[in-house]
Amino acid sequence: MTAVTNTTAATELDPELWIRRYHPAPDAGVRLVTLPHAGGAAPWFRPFSAALTPDVEVLSVQYPGRQDRLREEPVTDVGALADLITDVLTPWTDRPLALFGHSMGATVGFEVAQRLERRGTPPVAFFASGRPAPSLDRKHVVHRLDDAGLLAELRTLSGTDPRVFEDEELLQLMLPVIRGDYRAVETYRCAPGARVGCPVTVLVGDSDPRVSPEDAAAWDRHAADGIDLHVFPGGHFFPVDHQAEITALVRDTLSRHTLRRHTG
């Protein structure tokens, strides 16, 4: 396991710390693990959980350093974070698992998917949303910017409530976490030839300032059986405006792949 050198309680693998089950679905045939964006938290996926239940049970991952985990240091290494999440998910592999990651969460999800495959519990599907392919070179170094530069990046992506920018106390709590997340994803380097064997669905907004449809299409390099690409109107946080379409896509995809797994 990759060492975690900059965390306090992050190495605690208590499921209560890491996993939010907003809508338990004990009869669901598949579980969907959701992984949020840089600076994001588990509740971002709560509307998706409500929409998918009871067919799919959603397990929303809460990274260290935010909300009820505010006293913990953020994990600033994607590999270390993926190691921890994979360990936390072990008790949940009694049913088929799928992964859905948005932005930074897509990169983390890609690494978790590889680890699950190596452990013999491969996910039935992986959804990569709002993120360039892992092998693409990215020149952004947002984590090295001063606070003003970091805030400018958040405004560019248009995913932060404007009222947050007016709350100095809240900003002082959030900025170290957001910077740590950006450091994790910007210093990440994909292993040469890394790919996953499960079906991969890629989602992107057509006017995302940081991810072009061509960047998203390059995920094909990392999927053993190619990808299913979906381009939506909107910017970086397009899932907020297309929840109904995306949850329908997720439900249909998981239905097909879990059925194939049981009959194949």
Check 49, 60, 103, 129 and give the catalytic one.
103
Strand locations in 50-96 (E): 56-61
| DSSP character string of 139-180 | ---GGGS-HHHHHHHHHHHT-S-GGGGG-HHHHHHHHHHHHH
SS3 32: strand
Q: How far is CA 8 from CA 35, 37, 88, in A?
A: 21, 21, 17
Q: Which residues pair with 33 in a beta bridge?
A: 59, 99
Q: What are phi and psi of 145, to 5 degrees?
A: -75, 160
Q: Report the interhelical angle of 147-157 vs 168-186 (nearest 10°).
A: 80
129 is known as an active-site residue:
no
State the catalytic residues. Answer: 103
